[in-house]
Chain A
Amino acid sequence: MLPVHPQRSTSPWRLAFAEFRKNKLAITSVIFLFFVTALCILAPWLTSWDPVKINIRFINKGPSAEHWLGTDKGGRDIVARLLYGGRTTLWICFSISLIVTSLGTLVGSIAGYFGGRVDSWLMRFTDLVLIFPFLVFVIVLKAIFPDTGISIFIIVVSILGWGGTARLVRSKILAEKENEYVLAAVSIGCKPSIIIMKHLLPNVITTIIVQAILIVAGMITVETGLSYLGFGVPANIPSWGNMMSDAISPEVIKNQWWVWLPSGILITATILAINFLGEGMKDAFNTKK
């Protein structure tokens, strides 16, 4: 007699994964992102050049067998700086996305669940955060707390950046809490914190995940743009944005393409891949269609 396997129903996650696998663009993006992240993490084993120490012998050299993508004005190897810079940039953007998503989810779910006065005050606060011109205020805050390293940068950007997520989570929770299972949970005496954590959030988590992924892409733009202008990561730490800061002079743009083109392409390709990944996940989770 054959053994009988109990029939397991497919979970939403499994369904989404099956859907996601059909999306070639998204899969390619995942592979690309995995590849870039792995290269950056393994930087110390992949290159022997120092990304920070100035080397006067090799200043502003074009690509060669020794330096595949040439060197910058400090004689530092571009490939090494790309790898180590990726560590900084990806780490920063990942951390910011994590903090922003947590803060936004916290505020948004409390506002959405409790409604009434709590909602109105929290959302007014959120509107206030959203009204500030983001880049301008990051730069002003960076001017007040100058050159204090990566963590201050992460904190400043996170404090100014959570508004959009809060609004999104609130609107999702507002719609979700009308369901009867929430009423059932309330009627058997569940605490609000349990209802939010155990019942509501799992049902809106997919939206939050997609949003968090798209925020990583947005933060790469913010970090590289600000570092390029000199208001992001301190200049002595390599990052994808810092690497391009020499390309503010037309002379460098004209004569030293290797200073700005490789990191420019890498930044754009990474953002593109993250966007494809986010879009792919959004489509995969949206199986109701």
Chain B
Amino acid sequence: MLTYSIRRILGMIPLLIIISIIVFGLAKMMPGDALTGQIDPTKATPEYLAEMREKLGFNDPIPVQYWNWVQGLIKGDFGQSFIHKLPVSEMIAQRLPNTLLLAVVSLVITYTCSFMMGIYAGRYPNTLGDRSIISLNYVAYAVPSFVASIIAIYVFAIKLGWVPISGSVSIGVEDTSLMYVLSKLKHTILPALVLGLFNTAAYTQFLRNDIIDSTRKDYVRTAMAKGTNASAIYNRHILRNSLIPIVTFFGFDIAGLLGGAVVVETIFVYPGMGSLFINSISNRDYSVVMAVTLLLALMTLLGNLIADLLYGVIDPRIRLS
């Protein structure tokens, strides 16, 4: 397992380098200075530009510029936000915990809901309950996240008033109190639910079909013949086998959640990485855009690595090939 892990991690390095080169190239194509955020793209008089270009080393050869940029990244220097006059790393440090919280709550909701629905539907196929679950999941699978967000806001935040419309914490709540934690959760639950909708539908569908398939297998028949009670068969024997593929999806979920966060966070005005990205694009704050893009690409890469490693843990054959 160790050699396999090391091989996978080493295999990531060329991808990392290529991603950094592409992000660097895109940043160079953007107006202003997307790498350090020192040139204001809205204030482009020729003298100002020429002076800043000289000062920031833009007249150096491109590889030298790239190298300087990478060196900064390794030291944690993501440049400066033009609009907020803050180091980008500081802005990301503020936002990242929110997005992680959103992703974690979303995963918890996904796993809880899909397990309950999937296990029920798999155990009682073609009943009314199963059919309702399937129909619900077809819709949940089809509805785009922004439509789901709007409907969720309308129903749960506006009509029922159960949760706040936007933000991540109520104003004036103290940082350390229990109220703070509760307020945070209350703000997170609706966007997390919407964010996890697609995965929930996919998992429920998968679990249901897998459980139905397993019911016909020999080991289940043996267990039944020995008089094991049905709940034990379903909850222990079958579920354990169905869990294996789901665990391996986890890594890919990270990528999906980050992409989805861009849309959902913007609609719920939730201060995470996704809304930071959209706001920075709208404000032409390109240094932030490039830093967030790089970070999201890295996290996707990390998600894929986790998926690969989990796969290796579960299926030893993968490690050898």
The chain A residues found within 8 Å of chain B, CB to CB, are 127-128, 131-137, 139-141, 143-144, 217, 220-221, 224-225, 228-231, 244, 247-248, 250, 253-254, 257, 260, 264, 267-268, 271-272, 275-276
Contact = CB atoms under 8 A, between A and B. Distances in A.
A250 B277 contact: no
A136 B15 contact: no
Contact of A139 (B141, B262, B300, B304): B262
Contacts, number: 107
Interface residues of B, number: 43
Interface string B131-153: 00000001101111111001101
Contacts of B144: 220-221, 224-225, 267-268, 271
Secondary structure of the A contact surface, majority rule: helix
Nearest to B22: A132
7 contacts: A131-B300, A131-B301, A134-B259, A135-B259, A144-B29, A224-B144, A260-B150
Contact of B145 (A144, A225, A244, A250): A225
A127 B289 CA distance: 23
B154 A253 contact: yes
B87 to A, nearest CB: 21
Chain B interface, >50% SS class:
helix
B263 A140 contact: no
Given A131-B300, A133-B297, A144-B30, 7 more contacts: A131-B301, A133-B259, A136-B262, A229-B263, A253-B158, A260-B150, A271-B142
Contacts of A268: 139, 142-144, 147
A253 B150 contact: yes
Interface string B1-18: 000000000000001001
Interface in B129-181: 138-139, 141-147, 150-151, 153-154, 157-158, 165-166
A272 B158 contact: no
Contacts of B248: none
A133 B29 contact: no
A132 B300 contact: yes
Nearest to A279: B138
